[in-house]
Every structure is written in structure tokens, then in C-alpha cells.
């Protein structure tokens, strides 16, 4: 990828996965205000996906129809892994035209094969999605092609060897997952660096968990910078790594946007003291026995019991990660009404098949049921 593009892309990207809602619909008015703030603050990179419900249409209304096309870059993704087993190549490739229609963007600056891992990467090969993306790039409908990844370093190495056409890779990196044996953030980061691929970072705040870390981590951060947000430590950590194209923050409030722009508008990498502090935070987080859910919501769409799995896991983590038992019980009661409790899981396993974190969802629901029921 052109070094000029690396330099011109702001270190903060606007992830459009967790946009504000008004009732069941995305709040376009508030999203538009956040888009304006982001662009006025120097941001250019917007990230959506075919499977982010309502997100591409919201991007059209809040961004594409309101700002000159050359003033921003837009990324979206083709997800062949969440299609039904009976899905066809034609169905997978149709996502591209649908995304163009939903966004009205005319072309995509960045186009990603979505959420590749050991369970699904062969489907992208079978459907010829790599060659399909290359064709769209040759037609000028894609400026840069790459993929997002949730697997192990060995697979990432294989994919980057077999597909040198991938210009960048999107990885889950945060200080809690740096040495996590389930995520292997450091290992994947090092593979991408070995191949010289620019990295787009997803889940830098781990689905919001690092905006409210364990008390021991909070005390550590506050001792150095009392007025700095906890989220700022998480985002600046990944932005301070070499080879980072941009760091996606799934902002859902104007307050979050203001906070992120306050320290990322004129980004300053970590100094030596901050690196030492984040290293201590990594060690603390490595000892926390919580559920590594990022609240992406992929698991809920096909749940026959309509169990709010991410919300149940969030409640469980209030106790597991922070020892906040009373808050955890209240959160569980709100998330799990009669008929949709953790114990109502029928163990169909659809949730485990789509979870990018590889969480043993059925097992963790049983643990939550034991904690709260």
C-alpha cells in the first residue's frame, strides 16, 4: 500500500458497527452529528459491513449524502462465513452489489473478506471471492482489498503467503488480548508485520470492556494520569504500535466521539512510562477469568430462544472481572427474562459456529446460569 495513504489516513477510524439507536432503528440524526464531528476533527476512515444491520444504509444517509466523496474513505466487507450451509457462490458475491446500493458510495476505498478463521476460510476459496475482489478492483470499484481475521498466526501466515494481493489485514488487537491464548493478538500482529502489511485494528477497547477495566487497572492508570479516560489507554496502546493504518473505535455516543478526538486528533505515541504502565495492565488482565465476549451480536440473530447472549455475558463479567456481584445480578435480571434465561439454551450450537472469538457459548451460558439462577 502506498506510503502516502498510510500517512494521510488518520490514526482513528470510525467503526459503524455500534451506532446509536432510537428504538429499534439507528438514530440517523445523532449519527450524522458524530460523522460531522469526526470529519471536522480530521478523521477520514469509516468502516461498515454487509452484516452490520442497518449500518450501510446509515452510512449513506449520515455520510455519503452529506459529504463530498473525496473527503472520506469507506470500508465494507463481504461475509461468506455467516451464510447458510446451502448458500451459493452467487449469493455470496451478490453482497457486493447490495453494499454498493445500500451505501450509494459508487466505489469502496477498502473492501474486506470478512472474519476469516479456520472454520470458514476455505469457503472464500471455494466461492472464488479472492479473484472476485481482484476483478472489482480492476474495474475501479475497489481501491484496496484485504481481509479481517480471527484465527491463529499459522493460518494468517498461510493466507498472506497464498494471497499476496491482500494489501492490508484487519486484526483484533488490544492490551487485554495481547497474550490471550484464544486471540493471540501479538502473534498475529507479528505475522502481519513480517509480510509488511498495514494493519487496521478492530476491538481496541474489546467491545467496551476496556472502557471499564478491573479496579486494579483503573488505579494503575489514574495514578499516572487522573483525568485521562480508560478507553484512551486502550486506543493509544494499539495506535502506538508500528505499522498501524488506523484504529477502529465503534463509537455510539457523542461523548465517546469527543473523548476519542481529544487525544487522537493530535495523536502522541506512548512514552516509556506509559509502555511500562500498560505492560502492568496486561499482566493484570491476563489473570482475569472473564468471558472474552466483545458484544458483536453475531450469535443472537439465529438463536431460536432469543437469548441475549452478549448481555448475559456482560452481566457475568461484572462479577468475574470486577467482583461487582450486586450489579451483576441486576444486569442479569434485566438481560434474561423468563423464557430467555441462560438455562433456556437448547444447545443447538449455532452461536458457537459464528462467534469470532471462539467462545464455548453453551458452556459459558451454563456457567452464567449457575451464577445467577
Confidence of residue 61 (pLDDT cuts 50, 70, 90): very high
Give the rounded distance of the alpha carbon of 294 from its chain centre: 8
List the end-to-end C-alpha distance of the chain, in Å, as a whole number.
53
Distances (CA, A) of 318 to 28, 41, 291, 304, 372: 31, 34, 10, 26, 12
* 236-269 per-position pLDDT tens digit: 999 999 999 999 999 999 999 999 999 999 899 9
Q: Domain-by-domain residue ranges, the chain?
A: 3-286, 309-372
> What pLDDT does 302 receive?
86
Grid coordinates given for 126: 471455494
Q: Is the pLDDT of residue 2 over 80?
A: no
Query: 3-286 falls under which CATH superfamily?
Result: NADP-dependent oxidoreductase domain (3.20.20.100)
Confidence of residue 338 (pLDDT cuts 50, 70, 90): very high
Distances (CA, A) of 110 to 40, 45, 133, 299: 21, 9, 11, 26
What mean pLDDT is reported for the chain?
93
CB count, 10 Å around CB of 277? Answer: 20
Residue 202, H or E segment: strand 199-202
Give the rounded distance of the alpha carbon of 149 from its chain centre: 10
Contact 147, 116 (CB under 8 A): yes
- What number of residues does the chain have? 373
Mean pLDDT on 368-372: 90
CA distance linking residue 73 with residue 45, whole number of Å:
5
Taking each continuous run of H as one helix and of E as one strand, the counts in the chain are 16, 10
pTM confidence score: 0.85
205-219, 310-324, 352-366: segment of lowest average pLDDT:
310-324
* 159-201 per-position pLDDT tens digit: 999 999 999 999 999 999 998 888 899 999 999 999 999 999 9
Amino acid at each position: 500500500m502506498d506510503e502516502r495513504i498510510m500517512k494521510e489516513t488518520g490514526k482513528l477510524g470510525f467503526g459503524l458497527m455500534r451506532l446509536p439507536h432510537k428504538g429499534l432503528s439507528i438514530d440517523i440524526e445523532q449519527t450524522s452529528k458524530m460523522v460531522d464531528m469526526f470529519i471536522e476533527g480530521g478523521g477520514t476512515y469509516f468502516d461498515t459491513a454487509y452484516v452490520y444491520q442497518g449500518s450501510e444504509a446509515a452510512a449513506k444517509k449520515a455520510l455519503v449524502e452529506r459529504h463530498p466523496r473525496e473527503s472520506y474513505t469507506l470500508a465494507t466487507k463481504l461475509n461468506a462465513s455467516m451464510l447458510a450451509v446451502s448458500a451459493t457462490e452467487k449469493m455470496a458475491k451478490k453482497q457486493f452489489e447490495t453494499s454498493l446500493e445500500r451505501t450509494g458510495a459508487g466505489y469502496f476505498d477498502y473492501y474486506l473478506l470478512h472474519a476469516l478463521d479456520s472454520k470458514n476460510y476455505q469457503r472464500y476459496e471455494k466461492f472464488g471471492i479472492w479473484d472476485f475482489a481482484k476483478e472489482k478492483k480492476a474495474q475501479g470499484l475497489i481501491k484496496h482489498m484485504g481481509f479481517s481475521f480471527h484465527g491463529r498466526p499459522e493460518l494468517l501466515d498461510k493466507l498472506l503467503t497464498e494471497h499476496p494481493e491482500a494489501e492490508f489485514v484487519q486484526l483484533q488487537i488490544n492490551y487485554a488480548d495481547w497474550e490471550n491464548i484464544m486471540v493471540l493478538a501479538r502473534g498475529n500482529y507479528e505475522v502481519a508485520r513480517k509480510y509488511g502489511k498495514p494493519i487496521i485494528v478492530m476491538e481496541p477497547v474489546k467491545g467496551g470492556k476496556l472502557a471499564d477495566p478491573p479496579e486494579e487497572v483503573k488505579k494503575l492508570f489514574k495514578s499516572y494520569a487522573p483525568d485521562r479516560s480508560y478507553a484512551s489507554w486502550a486506543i493509544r496502546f494499539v495506535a502506538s504500535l508500528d505499522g498501524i493504518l488506523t484504529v477502529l473505535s465503534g463509537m455510539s455516543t457523542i461523548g465517546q466521539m469527543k473523548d476519542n478526538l481529544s487525544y487522537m486528533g493530535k495523536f502522541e505515541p506512548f512514552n516509556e512510562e506509559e509502555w511500562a504502565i500498560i505492560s502492568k495492565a496486561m499482566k493484570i488482565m491476563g489473570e482475569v477469568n472473564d468471558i472474552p465476549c466483545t458484544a458483536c451480536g453475531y450469535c443472537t440473530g439465529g438463536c431460536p430462544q432469543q437469548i441475549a447472549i452478549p448481555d448475559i455475558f456482560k452481566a457475568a463479567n461484572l462479577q468475574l472481572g470486577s467482583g461487582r456481584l450486586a450489579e451483576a445480578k441486576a444486569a442479569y435480571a434485566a438481560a434474561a427474562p423468563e423464557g430467555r434465561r441462560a438455562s433456556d439454551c437448547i444447545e443447538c450450537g449455532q452461536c458457537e459456529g459464528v462467534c469470532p472469538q471462539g467462545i464455548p457459548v453453551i458452556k459459558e451460558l451454563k456457567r452464567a446460569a449457575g451464577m445467577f439462577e
